[in-house]
């Protein structure tokens, strides 16, 4: 065969394989498109090319057998802290944050939303240091406090500037998706009011970590008088703000939901307790979104990672389809990014493959208390922009006996 014939032969083979990667045989769960069933997912050029039954393996250059597994859009973690690398000790704008790529892909996460670690004053450094250098998609809720969760006080109204926060958000519309009010323990409502004002100026949502309550500052007033429909109440199963009263769900929680307030898990190191979560589930008060509140104080404690928190919600009684919706399509809508959280043809190929294990497992809350469960989610594969970033069992890899090994180049100077 001549060189020309060989070239034409391989060109024909490549043209007959329009897909770069085919995930074959999995159960696709895509709440946006109302899909929950056996489907194949084809990826080409970093985009979702097709979701359909029985796509021929011959059409793909690489095929991953995901039979018995669940294929979803890349998970969105709505509450993390990843503004690290500054060298500042003892604060979240420093040593208490983590680098996103070291924690995202191995837990099925392709998008992280930093929840107020940076404020309007230090956001440019956060973007340059972390956002623009990460393979994980990192978005941000901007702290109403200029210094964020750093060396300046989150309790000082003088550092809360709605106009400055709105100006910064307008300068970075590709990555700033809202505002954060967090931890405030002083009198009045300057933190919440400032965040809501910034949100109104930019048509963006607000997430509130409500901090400390008193007679004037309570969740009923927060939900009914301060927040807007579409604003987000994180740490919804913490119990620190009377989410449960006298052994029952506080009626303010249901009233807030009816008004359009969004309820997010935000597990963290001290914001998820079994007595609160079980009472909420008894009242059929389920979370709108699952998130971790990832930082150095939560990553090795009861929280662990995104799939562990999802497993807790699954064992509390939510269906797998609902847990996936809480971790993909719901958070995408909460931050007004409808291009995320689904597997529509043409969407960026952020994909997660999950295994659902059955057995006897233990799940720990923020106090260290254990609750047994019979199901556990494990991240088998994570794909970001069509590239395989995490492959627990090498499903997208070639077996070593058929793999073509190439010599490693000699180190320079030898």
**Chain segment 189-247, per-residue pLDDT in tens:** 999 999 999 999 999 999 999 987 888 899 999 999 999 999 999 999 999 999 999 99
Residue 116's region, left for phi above 0, alpha for psi from -120 to 50, else beta, is left
Mean pLDDT computed over 353-382? 98
CATH architecture of 74-344: Alpha-Beta Barrel (3.20)
Mean pLDDT computed over 132-147? 98
Is the per-residue pLDDT at 249 higher than 80?
A: yes
Instruction: Say which range, 9-13, 181-185, 323-327, 356-360, has the weakest mean pLDDT.
Output: 9-13
pLDDT of residue 15: 54
pLDDT-based confidence at residue 407 (cuts at 50, 70, 90)? confident
pLDDT of residue 3: 54
Mean pLDDT estimate for the chain: 94
pLDDT of residue 9: 42
pLDDT by residue (tens digit) across 56-68? 999 999 999 999 9
pLDDT of residue 8: 46
Is the per-residue pLDDT at 188 higher than 50?
A: yes
Mean pLDDT computed over 110-127? 98
What is the distance between the alpha carbons of residues 289 and 310, in angstroms, rounded to a whole number? 10
pLDDT of residue 410: 77
Q: Which residues pair with 245 in a beta bridge?
A: 248
Alpha-carbon distance values, 262 to 67, 209, 233, 235, 258 (Å): 35, 13, 6, 11, 10
Q: Which residues pair with 179 in a beta bridge?
A: 142, 206
pLDDT-based confidence at residue 267 (cuts at 50, 70, 90)? very high
Three-state DSSP string of the chain:
CCHHHHHHHHHHHHHCCCECEEEEEEEEEECCCCEEEEEEEEEECCEEEEEECCCCHHHECCEEECCCCEEEECEEEEEECCCCCCCCCCCCCCCCCCCHHHCCHHHCEEEEEEEEEEECCCHHHHHHHCHHHCCCEEEEEEECECCCCCCCCCCCHHHECHHHHHHHHHHCCCCEEEEEEECCCCCCCHHHHHHHHHHHHHCCCEEEECCCCCCCCCHHHHHHHHCCCCCEECCCCCCCCCCEECCEECHHHHHHHHHCCEEECCCCCCCCCHHHHHHHHHCCCCCCECCCCECCCCCCCCCCCHHHHHHHHHHHCCCHHHHHHHHCHHHHHHCCCCCCCCCCCCCECCEEEEEEEEEEEEEECCCCCEEEEEEEEEEEEEEECCEEEEECCCCCCCCCCCCCCCCCCCCCCC
What is the distance between the alpha carbons of residues 101 and 39, in angstroms, rounded to a whole number? 29
Mean pLDDT computed over 363-375? 98
pLDDT of residue 1: 52
Mean pLDDT computed over 375-401? 97
pLDDT-based confidence at residue 408 (cuts at 50, 70, 90)? confident
pLDDT of residue 296: 97
Residue 279's region, left for phi above 0, alpha for psi from -120 to 50, else beta, is alpha
């Amino acid at each position: 065969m001549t060189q020309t014939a060989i070239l034409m032969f391989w060109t024909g083979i490549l043209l007959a394989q329009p897909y770069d990667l085919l995930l074959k045989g999995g159960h696709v769960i895509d709440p946006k498109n109302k899909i929950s069933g056996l489907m194949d997912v084809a990826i080409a050029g970093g985009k979702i090319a097709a979701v359909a039954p029985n796509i021929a393996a011959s059409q793909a250059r690489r095929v991953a057998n995901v039979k018995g597994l669940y294929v979803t859009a890349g998970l969105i973690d709505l509450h993390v802290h990843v503004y690290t690398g500054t060298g500042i000790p003892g604060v979240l704008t420093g040593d208490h944050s983590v680098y996103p790529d070291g924690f995202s892909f191995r837990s099925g996460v392709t998008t992280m939303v930093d929840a107020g670690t940076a404020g309007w004053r230090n956001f440019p450094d956060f973007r340059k240091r972390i956002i623009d250098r990460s393979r994980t998609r990192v978005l941000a809720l901007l702290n109403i406090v200029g210094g964020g969760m750093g060396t300046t006080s989150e309790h000082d109204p003088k550092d809360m500037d709605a106009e400055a926060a709105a100006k910064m958000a307008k300068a970075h519309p590709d990555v700033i998706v809202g505002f954060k009010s967090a931890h405030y323990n002083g009198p009045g409502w300057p933190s919440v009011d400032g965040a809501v004002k910034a949100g109104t100026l930019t048509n963006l949502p607000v997430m509130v970590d409500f901090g400390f309550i008193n007679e004037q500052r309570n969740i009923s007033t927060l939900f009914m008088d301060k927040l807007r429909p579409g604003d987000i109440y994180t740490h919804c199963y913490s119990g620190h703000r009377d989410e449960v009263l006298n052994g029952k769900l506080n009626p303010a929680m249901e009233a807030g939901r009816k008004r359009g307030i969004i309820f997010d898990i935000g597990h963290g190191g001290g914001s998820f307790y079994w007595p609160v979560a079980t009472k909420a589930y008894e009242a059929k008060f389920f979370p709108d979104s699952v998130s971790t509140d990832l930082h150095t104080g939560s990553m090795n404690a009861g929280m662990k990672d995104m799939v562990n928190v999802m497993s807790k919600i699954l064992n509390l009684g939510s269906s797998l389809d609902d847990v996936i919706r809480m971790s993909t399509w719901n958070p995408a809508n909460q931050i007004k990014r409808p291009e995320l959280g689904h597997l529509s043809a043409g969407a960026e190929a952020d994909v997660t493959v999950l295994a659902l294990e059955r057995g006897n497992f233990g799940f720990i809350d923020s106090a260290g208390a254990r609750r047994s469960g019979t199901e556990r989610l494990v991240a088998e594969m994570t794909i970001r922009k069509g590239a395989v970033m995490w492959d627990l069992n090498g499903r997208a890899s070639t077996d070593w006996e058929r793999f073509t090994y190439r010599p490693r180049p000699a180190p320079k100077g030898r």
